[in-house]
Amino acid sequence: MGQTNLEASLLTKLLPSNVRPDIRRVKRDRGQVFLDGCVLTFGSTDLGTKSCVYGDPEGGTTVALVGDSHAGHWFSGLNSVATTNGWQLHVLAKMGCPPEDINRFRNANLRPDCLPWRDNVIRRLKALKPDLIIVSHFRYNFRLKTVAQRRGGQWEELLTKYFRELKEISSRVVFLEDVPPPPNLVPSCLLRNRKAVNRCTFSPTESAIPELRESEKRATLAAGITYVPTYNWFCTEQRCAVLVGDLLLYADDNHITNEAARYFAPFLEASLVPLLQRIT
């Protein structure tokens, strides 16, 4: 998304009559990977024998997408890129599970199913030997600024360890930054402000903490992997958009819509294809 389009979108006041996906049915706008059960639900840890291979299943380049539902919400864009470029796209994702053992910082909401799932993913990746691993996930329980400042170093340490573990499996690892999280449920906000949708835009630092973004950048540098920033796809320096023309970017307060994922396919392609161009 060019900055010109972003700036124009941020000035929009009236809710378009033809918003896509349908703003009242946005929860139904899900990528095929969710419909196929390839983003595991709570309690599931076994990757099983089910084929969660997309893109070009016979392609000579193997790409693995690893993470939680925030990895899954990029699926349609990544699947388009994989299909166009002849990549196998293997999806290893589970709702609500961060990488490494970051879930130990989630206070009383510990998830006993995350670490067994993570171990199964590492085993699968070692067997798969992908040409590229793409990692993307939510920033878990780090939204409060005081928590972020106190735990930013721990976040960086755990991510660095995890990224290095992946780098031992594949020489090409990408961390796809989490999307800028709105402070409210975007569809509801838009419906409440049909004649002033600009009220639903937000500051890039309003929900996400700069300290954590910097920690993530340092972790990728320390591990020698590629960092793909996403904030400039959604935000100017001052504000983040929730609509682009008639396109609804957010399904709630942290996931993008399936339509948005398709829209971002060219951005994903520009970031990923150069990493694999040397593969013959």
Domain presence at residue 280: no
CATH number at residue 247: 3.40.50.1110
Domain presence at residue 278: no
Q: Residue 110: pLDDT band by 50, 70, 90 thresholds? A: low
Mean per-residue pLDDT over the chain, rounded = 87
Domain presence at residue 62: yes
Q: Distance between terminal CA atoms of the chain?
A: 31
Find the mean pLDDT for residues 1-27: 86
Domain presence at residue 179: yes
pLDDT for the residue numbered 67: 93
φ, ψ for residue 271, nearest 5 deg? -85, -30
Domain presence at residue 29: yes
Three-class SS state of 56: coil
Domain presence at residue 39: yes
Number of domain units in the chain:
1
pLDDT for the residue numbered 48: 60
pLDDT for the residue numbered 139: 79
Domain presence at residue 279: no
Cα(135)–Cα(228) distance, rounded to whole angstroms?
10
Sequence-distant (6+) residues with CB within 8 A of 205 are none
pLDDT for the residue numbered 219: 94
Q: Which of 30-39, 99-108, 130-139 has the lowest mean pLDDT?
A: 99-108
Please determine, for residue 138, whether its predicted confidence score (pLDDT) is greater than 70.
yes
pLDDT for the residue numbered 270: 96
Full domain range(s) for residue 132: 3-273
Sequence-distant (6+) residues with CB within 8 A of 43 are 113
Q: Residue 83: pLDDT band by 50, 70, 90 thresholds? A: very high
Sequence-distant (6+) residues with CB within 8 A of 270 are none
Domain presence at residue 55: yes
